Structure 1
Amino acid sequence: MEKRSKQLPLLFTSSDWNFDDLSRAYDAIREIAVNELRLDFYPNQIEVISSEQMLDAYSSIGMPLMYQHWSFGKHFVHESNLYRKGRMGLAYELVINSNPCITYLMEENTMALQTLVIAHASFGHNHFFKNNYLFQQWTDAGAILPYMEFAKSFIARCEERYSPAAVEAVLDAAHALMPQAVFRYRRRPRLSVERERARIRERLEHEERTFSDLWRTLPQAAEAEAPREVQTDMSERQSAIEYPEENLLYFLEKNSPVLKPWQREILRIVRVIAQYFYPQRQTKVMNEGCATFVHYTIMNSLYDKGQISEGTMLEVLQNHSNVVFQPHFDDPRYGGLNPYTLGFNMMRDIQRICTEPTAEDRDWFPDFAGNGDWCGTLLDAWATHRDESFIRQFLSPALIRDMRLFSLQEESSDPYYEVMAIHDERGYERVRSSLANSYDVGMTQPDIQAVDADLKGDRKLRIKHTVHNGATLVEETRNETIRYIQRLWGHEVSLVGVDAQTDKVLYEVSSKELGEKA
């Protein structure tokens, strides 16, 4: 370790933590974050929780307020058993994208680890949440917690009024469609609990105006014999539908012929949650890389100033090494690139290029190579990029060589892989492009859209899956999801898979056929 330039009193001397030590460490970290790294962050709210509470937070997708659903209990039991048998570890922290930003610390952590976690989550993740353009565009950090409180109480009231089984059936179907419940290009409206409650009242009043309880006592007749009010409502809905629609839960919420107002509201709740997590799906490498780079820089600065001991720094480096550990491709533990490793290495590399560029760096990155302002360069990158664009613009040949990256091509009909590019002069661009594409949500998520629904006729809903590179849907889960859509739509649902290049129909399946087979 390098000789420390300045000696200040140690922030703590024991591995055991107390709240005074946490307060001193927080203040020291904040000073470095503001004055040296120029971070901009939400106010912090730090809570210390037990391992049991951390497992509970895991099971409810990391939100401090969440409605009840059987899947959360299932995840809790599964992960709790793995943890107690020593087959799974727990995260050192959990951070919520809210204002104030909530960070959960494990009470079992040592003081050194608590310090690292505060730097990582309360300042690294916090800065990224507040400043990245995707989070600014798609999330409302100041409104998400009040909205989740509203959602939890609304679903609880629905369970009391309509039965837990009825609510569970809607939630099961909605959860199955969560990956297809986001707007990728349209900005969502700002959340407001007051606006949500007013909209629910309007929805209930509209439903009462367009439904006469007298008709419920009559035998079901043909479409033409339906109440005039209902026919008019259907005609208005039909003319208002815009095709295609990528957000399936939004489409079902607005246009399903059978859903009741409370069921539509549950679909809205689930899709709002899905939209909230949409930016996180696109920024895993950048978000974790930013937090890891921030904690690494801050902890080294604390050590250089003499505020933490050598023993503390060794513990910090050990935990840091565990976070950025990357198994080799032929290691049984390999499960793809570790986002912490890739993000941290890229940000350290950007720091190097800004301060000590090579001729190769100046050729590849003329805009910032040698500018000396690595902090400003990183702040701009954190604010204006997602994983795909960040990798495409900042992954350097030097890092490609250091990480020994290469590109494979696989044809499903071939019994082998073909190495298309390696870390050499001819392969840098292809490796970088292939890696960037693998983080592009538009290329990795199925392109499934509602393309037609005749509300005036047979009410059959038609959904189209545009198949890219021959990647079709898994039959078992595809069929089960079609059944869920049919449950929410109330009439026949068909799904057609069409090749993106040739427009050839690859498969077609309908809920009617699935029902007959069952």
Structure 2
Amino acid sequence: MSKQSGTSNFLFEGSDWNFDTLSRVYDAIEKVALEDLKLDVYRNQMEIISSEQMLDAYSSIGMPLMYQHWSFGKRFVYEDTLYRKGRRGLAYELVINSNPCITYLMEENTMAMQTLVTAHASFGHNHFFKNNYLFKLWTDAGAILGYMDFAKRYIAKCEERFGLAAVESILDSAHALMDHGVFRYRRPPRLSPQKVQDRVRERLEYEEQNYNELWRTLPQTHNEDEEAEVEDNAQDRKRALNLPEENLLYFLEKNSLVLEPWQREILRIVRVIGQYFYPQRQTKVMNEGCATFVHYHIINALFDKGEISEGALLEMLHSHTNVVMQPDFNDPRYGGINPYALGFAMMQDIQRICTEPTSEDRDWFPAIAGTGKWRETLLEAWENHRDESFILQYLSPALIRRFRLFTLGDKADEPFLEVSSIHNERGYEKIRSSLARSYDIGAITPDIQVVDVNMLGDRQLRLQHNIRNGIVLEENSRDATLRHVRRLWGYDVSLVGRDNATGKMVYEAAAKAR
């Protein structure tokens, strides 16, 4: 490894940086990451961008290639205003789950910060993206950039051919349903960019050959005998449409009678993007915890080897401390549990349990306590868990005490709150389970499914919200979202909320044709 000239063995001195220094520091970080921590990463691609480019990346959900939409511009103005007024800082880096793994570094960063974020993103996040089972099952890092390039060009062509307003209208409705446009229990097929374009061409040709304008003009039938017969065959109808279906965008893309082929393809594009980000929503604590632990270990290793100065280390630790700070519940900055704080603390706690366990640790974690194999334990955890299962398996009583966690029982018919779980053996189990459930996407995302539609009758799309724990949808946003479903479906849409436990109907809502 080359060193700077002179008597200093430091990789860099001062805050200024250049590409030679970045390369030298990258090599030193890579050696610790691969040889000491045994990380396995994609090839790295590092790009230097300005603060304005970072804001632009913020506004377009962090993708290097993204189609245009007014919501991205709105968010850019909002973030830019806060940044210019000093009310919000910018991320020092942005990392893309792709192969090669792309890391954006801010040109305004000092060399110490470039060192920190390279270790954090180019090795911590990179390893997690490549090895965690959710990302391996649900995303294709090698194809996402090619697909995004196709999506950007396709939507731009649609805007030229059909007009900006028509395309924005479809994107508005698709974005409103993006959280309900993912497959949660079956992996979507992986397509190369060339296969995607071939499929688009085949779909257009098929629909143009089979489209019949008379389908739109057929009058609705009101024959009671025919309606009774259709109702008798409701189960067959549902089987034919694979109902119930939780992926609303997928159902609308495949079955809407009013969408043009280009509109269906736009729905698919939004679905693919939503599916791409689905694993990240389930691994926020683990992903940030992994990256934070990695950068903390690497910068300390570099300092121990005499390759960075005390001043550089202190600058990096100052930033690190800000990132992992957990405000108290009565602090104005409190916004819930900081995923960086919880994730990093759990990674360090696993290291402690493996190397310096207490008797309590040996009771709770007999498989890893005192083994000294903290690297192997962390690598296994990063590979095989998501936030919910990771917390359920590895959150220790010691960490529960450190974060001063407890659970509250909040019953609607009671005028008070009850502290239902405290720091005892039974309480630790309940606190861990409650915290794990709060990170379960399946539990916190409303369960809304297509349950029925009579394609030969009134064509009304019937949705059902399976209500958990008495939590209903906010009325204004619910009705606004139903109008988006109505726009994509083309006919009346109804939504029924049913209590999961009792099966009782709690509310009804509808979006009807004007």
Same fold (TM over 0.5): yes
- What is the rounded CA distance, in whole Å, between the counterparts of 2:8 and 2:139 in structure 1? 41
Cα displacement (A) at 1:103: 0.4
Distance in 2 (alpha carbons) for counterparts of 1:298 and 1:237:
59
CA distance in 1, matches of 2:366, 2:60: 46
Q: Which residue pairs with 2:263 in the alignment?
A: 263
Which residue does the alignment assign to 2:438? 438
Q: Does 1:122 align with 2:122?
A: yes
**Distance in 2 (alpha carbons) for counterparts of 1:412 and 1:239:** 39
Structure 1 portions without partners, runs of 5+:
1-6, 225-235
Q: Give the conservation status (yes or no) of the 8 Å contact 2:95–2:102.
A: yes
Q: CA deviation at 1:416?
A: 3.5
Which residue of the partner structure matches residue 341 of structure 1? 341
One-letter identity of the residue aligned with 1:351: Q
Displacement of 1:220: 3.3
| CA deviation profile, 1:420-465 (whole Å, cap 9, x unmatched) | 1123333111111110010011111101110111111111100000
Q: Which amino acid aligns with 1:497?
A: G
2:230 is matched with none
Which residue in 2 is equivalent to 1:69?
69
In 2, distance between residues paired with 1:420 and 1:494? Answer: 39
Tell me the equivalent position of 2:174: 174
Check if 1:220 corresponds to 2:207: no
What per-residue deviation string (whole Å, max 9, x for no partner) do you get for residues 272-296 of structure 1? 0000000000000000000000000
Query: Alpha-carbon deviations, 1:120-154, whole Å to 9, x = none?
Result: 00000000000000000000000000000000000
Name the residue aligned to 1:447. Answer: 447
Residue equivalent to 1:110: 110
Whether the 8 Å CA contact 2:238–2:452 is kept in 1: the answer is no
Aligned position for 2:225: none
- Secondary structure of the equivalent of 1:88? coil
User: Aligned letter for 1:12?
Assistant: F
**What is aligned with 2:286?**
286
Name the CA distance, whole Å, in 2 between partners of 1:46 and 1:237. 52
Partner residue, 2:12: 12
CA-CA distance at 1:415 after TM superposition: 4.5
Q: Structure 1: how far apart are the matches of 2:315 and 2:204?
A: 58
2:152: which partner in 1?
152
Alignment identity in percent?
A: 68
Say what the alpha-carbon RMSD is for the aligned residues: 1.7
Deviates more, 1:271-280 or 1:449-458: 449-458
CA offset at residue 199 of structure 1? 1.2
Q: CA deviation at 1:237?
A: 9.5
Preserved CA contact (<8 Å) 1:362 1:369: yes
Q: Distance in 1 between matches of 2:409 and 2:164?
A: 48
Q: Distance in 1 between the 2:197 and 2:87 partners? A: 45
CA distance in 1, matches of 2:74, 2:492: 31
Please give the per-residue CA displacement for 1:15-37, whole angstroms capped at 9, x wherever unaligned: 11111111011000000000000
Deviation at 1:262, TM superposition (A): 0.4
Aligned position for 1:190: 190
Q: Answer yes or no: is the 8 Å Cα contact 1:181–1:271 preserved in 2.
A: yes
Aligned counterparts of 1:272 and 1:114: Cα–Cα separation in 2: 32
- Give the distance between the partners of 2:327 and 2:119, measured in 1 at CA: 26
1:4 paired residue number: none
Kindly indicate whether the alpha-carbon contact (under 8 Å) linking 1:8 and 1:305 is maintained by their aligned counterparts in 2: no
Which 5+ residue runs of structure 2 have no aligned equivalent?
A: 1-6, 222-235
- The aligned counterpart of 1:230 is none
Report the counterpart of residue 395 of structure 1 in structure 2: 395
- Aligned residue identity for 2:449: Q
Q: 1:145 to 1:99 in 2, by over 3 A?
A: same
Shift of residue 308 of structure 1? 0.2
2:509 corresponds in structure 1 to 509
| CA-CA distance at 1:222 after TM superposition | 1.3
| Cα displacement (A) at 1:403 | 1.3
The answer as to whether partners of 1:451 and 1:464 remain within 8 angstroms in 2 is yes
User: Deviation per CA, 1:51-106, whole angstroms, max 9, x where unpaired?
Assistant: 00000000000000000000000000011001000111111110000000000011
The answer (yes or no) to whether the contact 1:422–1:428 under 8 Å persists in 2 is: yes
Indicate conservation of the 8 Å contact 1:8/1:306, yes or no.
no
Q: What letter is aligned with 1:463?
A: L
Cα deviation, 1:324-367, whole Å, max 9, x if unaligned, reads: 00001111211110000000000000000001111111110011
What is the aligned partner in structure 1 of residue 135 from structure 2? Answer: 135
Which AA in structure 2 matches 1:254? K
Aligned to 2:49: 49
Partner Cα distance (1:205, 1:75) in 2: 38
Q: Indicate whether 1:474 and 2:471 are aligned.
A: no
- Say whether the 8 Å CA contact 2:238–2:244 is kept in structure 1: no
Q: Aligned to 1:222, what secondary structure does the other structure show?
A: coil
- Output the CA distance in 1 between the equivalents of 2:278 and 2:89: 26
Partner of residue 313, structure 1: 313
Counterpart position of 2:233: none
Which residue type is aligned with residue 450 of structure 2? A
Residue identity opposite 2:123 in structure 1: F
Residue 490 of structure 1 corresponds to 490
Is the 8 Å Cα contact of residues 408 and 421 (structure 1) preserved in structure 2?
Answer: yes
Q: CA–CA distance in 2 between the matches of 1:449 and 1:433?
A: 27
Cα distance, 1:157 vs structure 2: 0.4
CA distance in 2, matches of 1:146, 1:364: 46
**Structure 1: which 4+ aligned runs deviate by more than 4 Å?**
236-239
1:93·1:117 contact (CA, 8 Å) conserved in 2?
A: yes
Q: Distance in 1 between matches of 2:218 and 2:389?
A: 56
Q: The residue matched to 1:46 in structure 2 has which SS?
A: strand
Counterparts of 1:412 and 1:157, CA distance in 2: 53
Between Structure 1 and Structure 2, how many residues are aligned?
495
Q: Contact between 1:238 and 1:454, CA under 8 Å: does it hold in 2?
A: no
Aligned to 1:228: none
Aligned partners of 1:237 and 1:255 also within 8 Å: no
1:231 aligns with none
Shift of 1:256: 0.6
8 A contact 2:407–2:434 mirrored in 1: yes
* Change over 3 Å in CA distance of 1:162–1:88 after alignment to 2: same
Tell me how far apart the structure 2 counterparts of residues 509 and 425 of structure 1 sit (CA, whole Å): 45
Q: Which residue of 2 aligns with 1:246?
A: 246
Q: Deviations over 1:484-511 (max 9, x none)?
A: 0000000010000000000000001111
SS in structure 1 of the partner of residue 426 of structure 2: coil
